[in-house]
Amino acid sequence: MKVKSPPPPVYAFGYLTPPESGNAINGLGETKKRRARQVFHSSTGEPLAWKALDDFFSLINPIGTVRHVLANTWQLRRSDGAVKPRRREVPDPSAMAAEVKALALGLGATLVGVAEVQEDSLFEGRNPGLRYAICLGLPMDRGEMESAPHPRAAIEVMRAYRVVAGIAVRLAEKIRAMGWPARAYGNPNSTDILMIPLAVRAGLGELGKHGSMISTEHGSNFRLAAVLTDLPLALDTPVDIGVQDVCSVCRRCVDDCPPRAILEEKQMVRGERKWYVDFDKCIPYFVKTFGCAICIEVCPWSEPGRGPSLSARVLAKRRGARSR
């Protein structure tokens, strides 16, 4: 996809008193492991450093996105609930994982995997007290997303969040009906958890250079939700589809990012080397363009049907290099 004349990174909004750098809050350059802190989007009551810009973002968004936000918030009132007193025993977590995945796919998810909830996937001060995460992915409409950065793409992003959240809510209800606690998380402001580390461990894809997930099936053109539960489930493992090989040489998202926010090399972030997007450059442009999404749409993996062949080619090349 080629971006058609995106607006320049020049802003008619700003801070009189600039907040703390989002990169500092995110732990850029920190060598010690620690949990992430919320910076921008949040659904909790605590004040955030960048809340004024988040509020501004909420109000300048088109009504079409607001409609999905409201509908999503309404359906998420059922994210948690009463657990059926009689618990279904689970002698075989593998069989139960297969059953739950079939349920999720039946409800409309296209990607599903199971990971254990660990420290790196919880925000500071948060503890949902549930052991497993069932991660769900749902593609966005490529036709709509190709308009990015445009309100049409923003509306499609929020539509996908709403739909995948609905799947998570219904899956959590089914698990609670089995007598196990389950809580759905289906909001970009996901309160307790960081979706991406969970989804990577659940084998849905890999973290790309642009800071978003890349899957074989949808590239980056999809949205995540999750169900946290204590239902015993066999865990999935992270996948290697060749994203790291491609991202280390590809510059597509770096070159097409108007504010030049995507860093070319992996960075040390909270004690881990990983791809990182400069928050302070990305977010103002994200706000100006109602969620931008250029990087995820120009990503070669996001071209429909390209992921499987790209992955096969890269992995074959790597195997060939090793055997020489």
Partner 1 sequence: MRTLDGSGRLSDLRLLRRLCAMLWQYLTVGGRLRREYRLRESRGEVFWVDAQGPTEHREQSLRQDR
Max alpha carbon distance in the chain (Å)? Answer: 60
Angle at 287 between CA 110 and CA 20, to 5 degrees: 110
* The binder of partner 1 chosen from 1, 3, 24, 83 (CB under 8 A): 83
Instruction: Spell out the alpha helix ranges (H) of 108-231.
Output: 142-145, 151-177, 195-201
Instruction: Single out the segment in contact with partner 1 by CB under 8 A; choices: 13-21, 30-38, 114-122, 296-304.
Output: 13-21
* The binder of partner 1 chosen from 40, 68, 80, 166 (CB under 8 A): 80
Any idea which residue has 């966005």 for tokens? 140
**C-alpha separations of 311 from 154, 157, 207, 304 in Å:** 28, 25, 14, 13
Q: How far apart are CA 128 and CA 175, in angstroms?
A: 16
Residue 86 engages partner 1 in binding (rule: CB under 8 A): no
Contact 196, 119 (CB under 8 A): no
Residues between 58 and 77 that touch partner 1 (CB under 8 A): 58-60, 63, 66, 69-70, 73-74, 77
Chain centroid, CA 258 distance in Å: 22
Give me the least distance between CB of 42 and partner 1, in Å please. Answer: 8
Instruction: Single out the segment in contact with partner 1 by CB under 8 A; choices: 21-29, 81-89, 236-244, 257-265.
Output: 81-89
Give me the least distance between CB of 14 and partner 1, in Å please. Answer: 5
Give me the least distance between CB of 145 and partner 1, in Å please. Answer: 24
Give me the least distance between CB of 315 and partner 1, in Å please. Answer: 42
Give me the least distance between CB of 65 and partner 1, in Å please. Answer: 10
Residue 16 engages partner 1 in binding (rule: CB under 8 A): yes
Taking residues 173 to 202 in sequence order and writing x for each that binds partner 1 by CB under 8 A, - otherwise, the string is: --------x-x-----x-x-----------
Residue 17 engages partner 1 in binding (rule: CB under 8 A): yes
**C-alpha separations of 142 from 71, 109, 214, 223, 307 in Å:** 22, 16, 15, 12, 14
Q: How far apart are CA 26 and CA 316, in angstroms?
A: 36
Pick the closer one to partner 1 by CB: 66 or 254: 66
Contact 222, 110 (CB under 8 A): yes
Angle at 274 between CA 201 and CA 236, to 5 degrees: 10
* The binder of partner 1 chosen from 15, 108, 264, 273 (CB under 8 A): 15
Contact 27, 270 (CB under 8 A): yes
Which residues lie near partner 1 (CB under 8 A)?
11-17, 19, 42-45, 52-53, 55-56, 58-60, 63, 66, 69-70, 73-74, 77, 80-83, 181, 183, 189, 191
